[in-house]
């Protein structure tokens, strides 16, 4: 599905990012994997960059690397994320700013530095938002604001850069990654019970949606949101 394409994946050391890298490589892409953590995938077809996606310098490095190493850039998957759980009155200004920077501003920086290459390639951008963009859950004010912002930004970028670049957004629901490590067993059980699928999603199931949106199989889809949540947003247990 991605034969001959060059893709950037951020948050590539995390659960979903690593699954996307694996799937992209399996589909024939060459990948630049970016993460602030240094446990990046060490495998053929993957070039790694360690750095902070909230800094413009890392995106200049990504664009320079894509140009120098591959002469093109077809796909940007903006997926890195941080979460600090606290209601607004307890959330520090520093933690608010950090979450907005990593979860939202990074996509602006990505496009600012990479859109020239994406236009040349007729490329695709896939953003990782969340069901938090459309449903309120206590303790996530900055995360939800950033993820809601990504939905609007994705639409905006699709309009701005069409027809050359397509931009779409995935909204994952409960996907079992290390992001759930500090969630209690009781809360995990409640989350699973709130899905029509009756289980957590797997990172590979989000990767499948991202791969579709990154590939020419979705050539007439842009400015769209794809919810990947096992029916979590569709389901309510009260009238
Ligand atoms: N897992 C879920 O249930 C779920 C649900 C909804 C949305 N999402 C979204 O999916 C995406 C991936 O989630 P995940 O579960 O794989 O998370 P994860 O915590 O496993 O991975 C996130 C990765 O982002 C990296 N990262 C954090 N800050 C960074 C920075 N400043 N620069 C570069 N990299 C940075 C981390 O090191 C980590 O490897 C995120 O955008 C998340 O918000 C996940």
Predicted local confidence at residue 164, as pLDDT: 97
Which secondary structure element, helix H or strand E, spans residue 187, and what is its range? Answer: helix 185-193
Looking at the DSSP assignment, which residues form a beta bridge with residue 170? 128, 226
Any domain includes 1: no
Burial of 228 (0-12, 13-18, 19+ CB in 10 A): buried
Residue % of the chain over a pLDDT of 90: 95
Query: Considering its fold, how many domains does the chain have in total?
Result: 1
Place of tokens 């892409």: 29
Any domain includes 218: yes
Any domain includes 233: no
- Whole-number Å distance, alpha carbon 27 to ligand 1 midpoint, is 22
Any domain includes 237: no
SS3 (DSSP) at 166:
strand
The verdict on pTM exceeding 0.85 is: yes
Any domain includes 112: yes
Q: Give residue 220's pLDDT band: very low, low, confident or very high (50, 70, 90).
A: very high
- Whole-number Å distance, alpha carbon 238 to ligand 1 midpoint, is 31
Mean pLDDT along residues 201-229: 98
Domain harbouring 60, CATH code: 3.40.50.720
For 153-207, write each residue's pLDDT tens digit.
999 999 999 999 999 999 999 999 999 999 999 999 999 999 999 999 999 999 9
Cα separation of 64 and 56, whole Å?
12
Structure tokens at 63: 């664009």
Any domain includes 234: no
How confident is the prediction for the chain on average, in pLDDT? 97
Looking at the DSSP assignment, which residues form a beta bridge with residue 175? 201
Any domain includes 48: yes
Predicted local confidence at residue 98, as pLDDT: 98
Predicted local confidence at residue 93, as pLDDT: 98
Any domain includes 30: yes
Known catalytic residue: 220? no
Predicted local confidence at residue 40, as pLDDT: 85
Mean pLDDT along residues 103-121: 98
What is the Cα Rg of the chain in Å?
Answer: 17
Q: Give residue 42's pLDDT band: very low, low, confident or very high (50, 70, 90).
A: confident
Which secondary structure element, helix H or strand E, spans residue 209, and what is its range? Answer: helix 203-214
> Residue 12 sits in which domain range?
6-228
Cα separation of 85 and 83, whole Å?
6
Predicted local confidence at residue 38, as pLDDT: 86
Closest residue CA from atom 20 of ligand 1: 14
Predicted local confidence at residue 175, as pLDDT: 98
pLDDT higher than 90, residue 81: yes
Ligand 1 within 6 A of CB of 13 = yes
SS3 (DSSP) at 48:
strand
Predicted local confidence at residue 107, as pLDDT: 98
Structure tokens at 151: 């939905």
pLDDT higher than 90, residue 12: yes
Q: Give residue 41's pLDDT band: very low, low, confident or very high (50, 70, 90).
A: confident
pLDDT higher than 90, residue 39: no
Mean pLDDT along residues 216-229: 98
- Whole-number Å distance, alpha carbon 164 to ligand 1 midpoint, is 28
Are the CB atoms for 26 and 93 separated by under 8 Å? no
Q: Give residue 141's pLDDT band: very low, low, confident or very high (50, 70, 90).
A: very high
């Amino acid at each position: 599905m991605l034969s001959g394409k060059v893709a950037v994946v951020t948050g590539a050391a995390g659960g979903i990012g690593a699954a996307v890298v694996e799937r992209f490589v399996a589909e024939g892409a060459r990948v630049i994997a970016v993460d602030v953590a240094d446990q990046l995938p060490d495998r053929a077809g993957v070039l790694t960059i360690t750095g902070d996606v909230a800094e413009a310098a890392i995106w200049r490095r990504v664009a320079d690397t894509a140009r120098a190493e591959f002469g093109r850039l077809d796909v940007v998957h903006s997926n890195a994320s941080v979460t600090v759980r606290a209601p607004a009155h307890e959330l520090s200004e520093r933690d608010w700013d950090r979450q907005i920077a990593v979860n939202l501003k990074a996509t602006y920086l990505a496009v600012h530095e990479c859109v020239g290459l994406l236009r040349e390639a007729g490329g695709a951008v896939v953003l990782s938002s969340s069901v938090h963009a459309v449903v309120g859950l206590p303790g996530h004010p900055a995360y939800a604001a950033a993820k809601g912002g990504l939905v609007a930004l994705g639409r905006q970028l699709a309009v701005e850069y069409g027809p050359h670049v397509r931009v779409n957004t995935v909204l994952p629901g409960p996907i079992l990654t290390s992001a759930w490590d500090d969630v209690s067993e009781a809360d995990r059980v409640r989350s699973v019970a709130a899905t029509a699928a009756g289980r957590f999603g797997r990172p590979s199931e989000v990767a499948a949606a991202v791969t579709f949106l990154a590939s020419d199989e979705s050539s007439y889809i842009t400015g769209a949101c794809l919810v990947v949540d096992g029916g979590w947003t569709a389901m309510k247990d009260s009238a």
